[in-house]
Amino acid sequence: MSGLLSLAGYNIITTKEDASLWVLNSCTVKTPSEDQLENEVKKAKEAKKFIVVAGCVSQADPNAEFLRGVSLVGVKQIDRIVEVVEETLKGNCVRLLSRKRPEQKLSLPKMRRNNLIEVLAVSSGCLNNCTYCKTKQARGDLVSYSLEELVEQASRAFSEGCREIWLTSEDLGAWGRDFGMVLPDLLKAVVHVIPEGCMMRLGMTNPPYILDFLDEIADILNHPRVYSFLHIPVQSGSDAVLRDMNREYNSADFCRVVDFMLHNVPNVYIATDFICAFPTETIEDFEESMQLVLKYRFPSLFINQFYPRKGTPAARLKKIATTEARRRTAAMSSLFRSYTRYGSDRLGTEYDVLVCEWATDKVHFVAHNKCYEHFLLPCDDVSILGQVVRVRVTGVGKFHMNAELVVRSRSEVTCAGQLCNSVGAHLRQICENCLCRLESPPNAFMGVLLSAFVASLLYFLLQMH
């Protein structure tokens, strides 16, 4: 939407107080998200701003009282955002909520929040009917973009300077099932267009869609240009609760996926989600969820207290008392805080990491290694953004490691006993054990001589020390 509005001549600004019109993109997954939207709409009205609401709330609940008199853009109509803004600025209330799929959505102009990261939505909607979820009401059934469209967009993003690509969806694993393809087909195709030194991250995937392709998914995660990261939401450790949620798998299915990845993808980083205090969850059910957390010690855990979503089957069930719901949520949060992936044994360890983001404190960069572990680096040198660098761990925390730069260039990174040194720019070879690149000149004999010379020089310097 930002890309379309910018192309139409509108000035996109980040300070909302200075804007004439606010475009509020909404989420209906959780009640707090919808409450936040309502508060923002109220603030906009008090500030006498023009308002356009986009996203899932506009589609799922357009008749909400707080949206009265507000222009709306449905999830399948974002290509018409300029039209809606123009009419709203004229004082008209416009509502485009048709579910007809727009054409060429992927090729629409885009303004990336981070020019180094392409967030690529591979589909819209899903195949499931979870009893607690309102997203299906907004997004509808699964509609996947074609393999050709997605590969073309990925190639375009890398040609425009992106260093990472994040594949996203309501459920990445369901991609292609609406036209006879499956997730491994997409992943294998996209991997072929990822340049060396760039990385791909997979989005949220529900267990049933991984179970059918454990070997293929593991192979993809082991690829040197794919982060060894998997987000698999389990929601509960209790089979009874999973049935009531209509999740279409059981706890053993989830464990089978996790165990397979832990055994076949070195240092894989697995994130998951839990809903605490689902209406039918007993104390024993909750303890099964706690045991699952204790068993795997997930490094990333999204803990959500159940909120009834209007119009969903679960909203008709009797809620667990708020005090008990909060107790369970707090108990799981406390368990999560009791362990860490980043122990003191990491201090002094060196890693090759890709630097692509600023931290929220604006004084650090965020970087990741192959298994998507998080590093904070001092932002002393902006030139390392988008580059692979060697770092040394100086501190550890619950969610990240602090690190210092060891080598500012890929050309000097060493790993697995190999000297990875830049000695030309014509032929390239990926180092299988890190994110750095080995470059050699077209003349193989000269490449050998140069490599030998550099290795000898390094040995000489080390001897001097």
What pTM, to 2 d.p., does this model score? 0.74
- pLDDT of amino acid 105: 66
- pLDDT of amino acid 426: 31
pLDDT digit string, tens, across residues 423-432: 333 333 333 3
Rg (the chain; Cα; Å): 24
E strands within 268-320? 269-276, 300-305
Question: In whole angstroms, what is the distance from residue 433 CA to residue 350 CA?
Answer: 13
| 73 and 102 Cβ atoms separated by less than 8 Å | no
- pLDDT of amino acid 174: 95
| 35 and 103 Cβ atoms separated by less than 8 Å | no
Q: Which fold has domain 112-337?
A: pyruvate-formate lyase- activating enzyme (3.80.30)
Residues 6 or more apart from 236 whose CB is under 8 A from it?
242, 245, 247, 251, 274, 275, 278, 281, 285, 288, 289
Question: Low-confidence residues of the chain, pLDDT below 50?
Answer: 102-103, 411-465
pLDDT digit string, tens, across residues 36-91: 888 889 988 888 889 999 888 877 788 888 888 888 888 878 788 888 888 888 78
Q: Label the pairing between strands 21-26 and 50-55.
A: parallel
In the chain, where the domains are located: 2-96, 112-337, 342-408, 415-465
Nearest to 297 by CA among 251, 254, 340: 340
| 377 and 391 Cβ atoms separated by less than 8 Å | yes
Instruction: Report the top-level CATH class of 2-96.
Output: alpha beta
Neighbours of 334 (CB within 10 A): 9
Instruction: Report the top-level CATH class of 342-408.
Output: mainly beta
Neighbours of 75 (CB within 10 A): 20
Long-range contacts of range 411-417, CB-CB < 8 Å, 24 or more positions apart? 411/439, 413/352, 413/388, 413/389, 414/390, 415/352
pLDDT digit string, tens, across residues 400-417: 999 999 987 553 223 333
Nearest to 227 by CA among 164, 271, 168: 164
Structure tokens at 209: 């869609």
- pLDDT of amino acid 81: 85
